[in-house]
Amino acid sequence: MLVFRKISVPLDPVTRVMPAYRFILVKEVAEIEGLGALELRNDAAAIDFGKEVIRDMKHSDPAYYAGRIMKIMEGERTAATVFFDTVEMLQ
């Protein structure tokens, strides 16, 4: 299981070296769970990390996570929306 630590994001973005991304689990239109936050170098790295989290979650119970969405936020900006059904499981 992937584990990442929650971080407290400094209020002044100038003091941050990398952007802080929040990962939010969405069912239909409701945000149902905040999965944590992590500083990553860019949107692509955040998406890659999010897909790894999704693979881990789907591995535990694929039927439960069918139709779910992960919203990846950087501040108030939506960096990405990843549909669980589009993430392939690795062999």
CA separation for the pair 43, 30 (Å, rounded): 23
Q: Above 80 in pLDDT, residue 17?
A: no
Q: Above 80 in pLDDT, residue 16?
A: no
Q: Please count the other Cβ atoms lying within 10 Å of the Cβ belonging to residue 83.
A: 12
pLDDT per residue over 22-56, tens digit each? 999 998 877 788 898 999 999 999 999 999 999 99
Helix or strand holding residue 43 (H, E): helix 43-60
**How many Cα atoms are found within 13 Å in the side-chain-facing hemisphere of 15?**
5
Which residue would you say has higher pLDDT here, 10 or 75? 75
Q: Above 70 in pLDDT, residue 7?
A: no
Q: Above 70 in pLDDT, residue 12?
A: no
pLDDT the model gives residue 81: 95
pTM summary value: 0.77
Q: Give the residue-averaged pLDDT of 85-91.
A: 84
